Structure 1
Amino acid sequence: MTPFMFVTDLDHTLVGDDAALTQLNQILTQHRHEYGTKIVYATGRSPVLYKELQIEKNLIAPDALVVSVGTEIYLDGKNTADSSWAEILSTGWHREQVLSITEQFSELELQPDSEQRPFKVSFFLKQEVAASVIPQIELMLEKYKLNVKLIYSSGVDLDIVPRSSDKGQAMQFLRQKWKFAAERTVVCGDSGNDIALFAVGNERGIIVGNARQELLEWHNQYPANHRYLAQNFCAGGILEGLKYFGFIK
């Protein structure tokens, strides 16, 4: 067996089936200890909300934590975000200008302060108006030549982040840092903000059996041999996928 880089979303992907999570944790801990496998959590949660989940579900400590939809990376349990990643994101990012433009849209409701991050502005946006409102916001942001993109997921969360930032770009940054080949890297997810993990390259992808419609539609539109659609839910689906790709026995 050789090391691999394991990258997973948390809510409804790694977390959601406690028995399967316990089994997966044991396998990953052993694999990391014996072969040097790297464990990465890539979540839309802020550091504050990640910590709550980590305690609640007794998550094993990752080698890298990617939070706030790829806008912050924390290495080896450190409390300060990786400065080289922050430097990449800072080019052309104007947070205050994003806030002043989005104030003009009454459909947007700012998420709590804990979810507002240096490189992320987050809103609640109802699904029934999202399809008409998002293109208007994009047009307005383009008009001011802001280097940003919008990520809408789970039918409620709208994140505005630097264009060079998402879970996929953060994963590539770590993969190159640790020198893992794409075929020795596996990514796992369930929703729209995980598309970036699957779309960025030809890393092995596991879509869990409880994936949301937005991700399934994308998967059907852009099929790929290096992606696996699991039958089982959450950590059970990840175990299934890891065996399918031969990362574990």
Structure 2
Amino acid sequence: MTNDQRRLTIDWVETREIAIVAQFLLVTDLDNTLVGDEAALVELNQRLTWHREQFGTKIVYSTGRSPTSYRQLCSEQTLLTPDALVTGVGTAIYYEDHSTSDASWADRLATQWDRDKVVAIAAHFADLVPQPDSEQGAFKVSFYLEEAIAADVIPQLETSLKVQDLNIKLIYSGGQDLDILPTQADKGLAMTFLREKWQLSPAQTVVCGDSGNDRALFSMGDERGIIVGNAMPELLQWHKSNPKPHHYLANARCAGGILEGLHHFGWF
């Protein structure tokens, strides 16, 4: 190796090290991902606070919860104030006081979406049990569906919706939660929207999850992914079938798994 080649190699390594410790975007699910191990959450909060103050790191909570349910969680757990809150499995994005959702994101989801028609068609399926009103949204129709019959019901429902030319996708997770969303809505697409808004690269983005509705976070591209050690079988099976070098399966659970993953990727 020539001296010039050595110098280029050293420069590349130094640049990579600077990139690792610099600003990044953390996008994490809440229940059983960020929340679930109080001691680990305290440590993670401390480290993220320091990193945000030093490098401008962005924190996004991406949850299936509604804003109401999120506020309830905040009253029970010590959570950092996020730079953005993604609720309803990617159907709404909030900033600052979380009182008004991002209008440009809502405009994207509105194309060919007819919530009333979705509700009317779903009403013909007796096995679908509507979730509480607080968990419904302008771009989210949610039901409980038993896991034992989900494989039969979901394809039939999807066919009934699509023959009406409705702009929909179905997301089933946790062995009970079925969400009907616009095609342009999910956690991964909301993450991409925010990443581009803040002009951060996939290599500067870390996503964390534990369940089926988090698969979209891990499916977008080269974002670093942390699957926590207590992940549900539905996500573990997907990870096994879709192995990627930039995805990390942690041993520790919940916030401890996020800490472990951030150490693995070199940010902590």
| TM-score (normalizing by structure 2) | 0.92
Give the match's secondary structure for 2:80. Answer: coil
* Cα RMSD for the two superposed structures: 0.6
Question: Which amino acid in structure 1 is aligned with residue 175 of structure 2?
Answer: G
Residue 125 of structure 2 is matched in structure 1 by 105
Provide the C-alpha distance between the structure 2 equivalents of 1:78 and 1:45, rounded to a whole number of angstroms.
13
Cα contact 1:74–1:80 (8 A) shared by 2: yes
Q: Displacement, 1:129?
A: 0.6
Provide the C-alpha distance between the structure 2 equivalents of 1:147 and 1:219, rounded to a whole number of angstroms.
28
1:192-237 alpha-carbon deviations (Å, 9 max, x no partner): 0000000111100000000000000100101000100000000000
Q: Displacement, 1:54?
A: 1.2
Cα contact 1:206–1:230 (8 A) shared by 2: yes
Question: Which amino acid in structure 2 is aligned with residue 195 of structure 1?
Answer: R
Sequence identity of aligned pairs in percent?
59
State whether structure 2 residue 196 is matched by structure 1 residue 176: yes
4+ runs deviating over 3 angstroms: none
Cα contact 1:62–1:77 (8 A) shared by 2: no
Provide the C-alpha distance between the structure 2 equivalents of 1:138 and 1:6, rounded to a whole number of angstroms.
32
Provide the C-alpha distance between the structure 2 equivalents of 1:8 and 1:16, rounded to a whole number of angstroms.
13
Matches within 5 A, 1:145-224: 145-224=165-244
Give the match's secondary structure for 1:7. Answer: strand
Provide the C-alpha distance between the structure 2 equivalents of 1:54 and 1:90, rounded to a whole number of angstroms.
29
Assess, with a 3 A threshold, how the Cα gap between structure 1 residues 212 and 198 changes in structure 2: closer, same or farther: same
State whether structure 2 residue 85 is matched by structure 1 residue 74: no
Question: Which amino acid in structure 1 is aligned with residue 237 of structure 2?
Answer: E
Residue 92 of structure 1 is matched in structure 2 by 112
| TM-score (normalizing by structure 1) | 0.99
Q: Displacement, 1:30?
A: 1.0
State whether structure 2 residue 33 is matched by structure 1 residue 2: no
Provide the C-alpha distance between the structure 2 equivalents of 1:74 and 1:131, rounded to a whole number of angstroms.
34
Figure out how many residues of one structure are paired with residues of the other and give that number: 248
Cα contact 1:61–1:77 (8 A) shared by 2: no
Greater Rg, structure 1 or structure 2?
2
Cα contact 1:8–1:187 (8 A) shared by 2: yes
Q: Displacement, 1:78?
A: 3.4
Question: Which amino acid in structure 2 is aligned with residue 231 of structure 1?
Answer: N
